Amino acid sequence: MRLRRAEGRGAGGEAELLALPYLTAGPLAGQWAIRARTFDAFVRRVVAPLAEERGRELAVLDLGAGNGWLSARLARLGHRSVALDLRVDDADGLAAGALFRRHLPRMFGRVSSSFDALPFGDARFDLVVFDASLHLAEDLPKVLAEAARATARGGLVAILDSPFYARSRSGEAMSEEKRRDTARTFEGLAEDLLALSPIEYLTRESLAAAAAPAGLWFERSRVLYPLAYETRGLKARLLGRRPPSRFDLWSARRS
């Protein structure tokens, strides 16, 4: 929680929470401008077509949900969602999502749990979505197997806002930079933060290898982001820096 507060998350109170992901002011507005594009593509390319296929509201599992903003947005669209996260704090965790209750026709569920051991039966959800969270997994094959298990036949597993690199060496360079920055910037928290061992990033190949045993075959749907994001690769080449990651939208059908 101290880290999330230090990053400025939740600083804007209820107004900021209700605006997500369409945040236009504050220290994190630039990040949310990217995530808003992914969310819009997710609704248009994944949620709406799947709801049309099913002919009804969707049952959605929002993994790594944080304060539950994505579940709240889906609730406004008429879907039933469960927001799952280990964090329960009122800065950016599940407790912060309690404020949505006053603004939704039907409150979404909130469950505190790890996503490598989901507390649900098999095939309970039409759609399972990793919301800026899959790169936090420590055991990627296990996490994807759990997501597949919880997804109903014909349903979808989607990945939003996790960093993908074309080559693993670029991801490893990013991870090392992040570790150095964490040790320098969050000196009092660094020991605890660096004790964790998330995968930090994905490649097309690492995702495919981890997902295949679960019967998932992911496809990328490219998202058009703001110009500053889309030109990062060119700037990196000109400056001789490592290639940046991309987010985009990834989804797989549960057979």
Average pLDDT of the chain is 93
Whether the per-residue pLDDT at 3 is higher than 50: the answer is: no
In the sheet with 80-85, reading across from the earlier edge strand, the strands are 109-112, 80-85, 59-63, 125-131, 151-160, 249-253, 219-221
Say how far apart CA 56 and CA 82 lie, in whole Å. Answer: 17
Whether the per-residue pLDDT at 148 is higher than 80: the answer is: yes
Please provide the size of the chain in residues. Answer: 255
Whether the per-residue pLDDT at 45 is higher than 60: the answer is: yes
Chain position carrying tokens 């997804």: 151
pLDDT at 4: 47
Look up residue 11 and give its two tokens: 């600083």
What b/e string do you get for 136-167 counting C-beta neighbours within 10 Å, with b at 16 or more? bbeebebbbbbbbbbbbeebbbbbbbbbbbee
Average pLDDT on 34-60 reads: 98
Look up residue 191 and give its two tokens: 């020991």
Q: Report the number of distinct structural domains present in the chain.
A: 1
Name the more confident of 122 and 12. Answer: 122
Judged by phi (left if over 0) then psi (alpha if -120 to 50, else beta), residue 124 lies in alpha
- Residue 202 DSSP label: B
Task: State pLDDT tens for residues 104-146.
Answer: 999 999 999 999 999 999 999 999 999 999 999 999 999 999 9
CA distances for 202 relative to 91, 145, 176, 246, angstroms: 27, 16, 15, 10
User: 3-class SS at 251?
Assistant: strand
CATH number of the domain encompassing residue 180: 3.40.50.150
pLDDT at 196: 74
Whether the per-residue pLDDT at 190 is higher than 60: the answer is: no
Full residue range of the structural domain in which residue 182 is found: 2-253
Average pLDDT on 55-83 reads: 98
